[in-house]
Structure 1
Amino acid sequence: MPHQDADLVNWSDFARTRGELGAAFLRILGYFREDGAKSISAIEDAFRARNAAALVTPAHTLKGESAQFGAYRLSAMAEEIEMVARRCVETREGPDELIETVVALRPCFTETMALLDRDANPLVARRPVTFGRRADTPPQGFGRAV
């Protein structure tokens, strides 16, 4: 499946991982944020240097860590980079064909992390509440006693 067709986040897999990690979830998500940013920087640097071999390891790492959190589009992009880079190493070609995927990788990571952070934040209310009443209660009108 092309990475454009993959879900940005598979929420059932995200919830499963959250349940499995328990109290360590936020810490591990923080590691993913740090490691993901490092992997993306390494991918960008290797691509600029036209070094296909140097693309393989950070792409492989990003692929696995992304999939663990249900970030399937990011995982699919990293997998494409890894597979093309491996082929380029074998055929001794440059990784030029990856330019669109490499350029789209960081924005996808940023968007994905924003979604994961929003859902993982313990301070975010899971049910909408408005000031002074529950969200499912119809408004009475401002300043009117009922």
Structure 2
Amino acid sequence: MTPTVENKIDWPAFLEARQELGADFIRILGYFREDGTKSVAAIETAMRAKDAAAMVVPAHTLKGESLQFGAETLAGLAEQIEAVARHCVEVHEAPDELLEQVVQLRPVFEEALLLFERECNPLVERRNGGFGRKVDANNQSFGRI
């Protein structure tokens, strides 16, 4: 059974990316889904082939794109895979020690996508009142001067 990993999202970074990208945000998030799916598959294929060199570029790409959207856990896993894969290439070893991280990668990626989609869906009720601000039932000042 795959160990569970808390999927940490830096919501302020996510919201900052959303604001900076504006109308292009959903399209670029779609590219993240497509590119991330390809990167995860490439890393898994490389792991099965024990090809550390083939892990480096997709792990690097996944790390950078994950950080852009605040997917810290995913970026951290990708960074570990990239670093160890680079080391394995340098010392001419198979990346066997990465098995646990590679097994965790797909579920963490898919959960991050689910969390992003939930945040972007206007029909989903926000647990915290939306956009990182907790609604205080006693605070009746919303809309007042």
Q: TM-score range by the shorter chain?
A: 0.7 to 0.9
Q: Please name the residue that 2:13 is paired with.
A: 13
Q: Cα 1:5–1:114, aligned 2, differ >3 Å: closer, same or farther?
A: closer
Q: Which amino acid in the other structure matches residue 107 of structure 1?
A: P
Q: What secondary structure sits across from 1:55 in the alignment?
A: helix
Q: Please name the residue that 1:71 is paired with.
A: 71
Q: Please name the residue that 1:33 is paired with.
A: 33
Asked if the contact 1:9/1:70 (under 8 Å) is kept, the reply is yes
Q: Cα 1:121–1:7, aligned 2, differ >3 Å: closer, same or farther?
A: same
The answer for unaligned runs of 5 or more in structure 2 is 130-136, 138-145
Cα separation, 2, equivalents of 1:53 and 1:38: 16
- 1:50-129 superposed matches below 5 A: 50-126=50-126
Q: Which amino acid in the other structure matches residue 113 of structure 1?
A: L
Per-residue deviation, residues 12-33 of structure 1 (Å, max 9, x unmatched): 0000000000000000000001
Shift of the alpha carbon at 1:124? 2.9
Shift of the alpha carbon at 1:111? 0.8
Q: What is the aligned-residue identity percentage?
A: 60
Q: How many pairs does the alignment contain?
A: 126
Segments of 4+ in structure 1 off by > 4 A?
4-7, 125-128
Q: Which amino acid in the other structure matches residue 26 of structure 1?
A: I
Per-residue deviation, residues 49-86 of structure 1 (Å, max 9, x unmatched): 00000000000000000000000000000000000000
Larger Rg: 1
Q: What secondary structure sits across from 1:18 in the alignment?
A: helix
Q: Which amino acid in the other structure matches residue 87 of structure 2?
A: R
Q: Which amino acid in the other structure matches residue 53 of structure 1?
A: A
Q: Please name the residue that 1:43 is paired with.
A: 43
Cα separation, 2, equivalents of 1:93 and 1:6: 30
Per-residue deviation, residues 91-130 of structure 1 (Å, max 9, x unmatched): 00010000000000000011111000000123334488xx
Shift of the alpha carbon at 1:35? 0.5
Cα separation, 2, equivalents of 1:88 and 1:126: 44
Cα separation, 1, equivalents of 2:86 and 2:49: 16
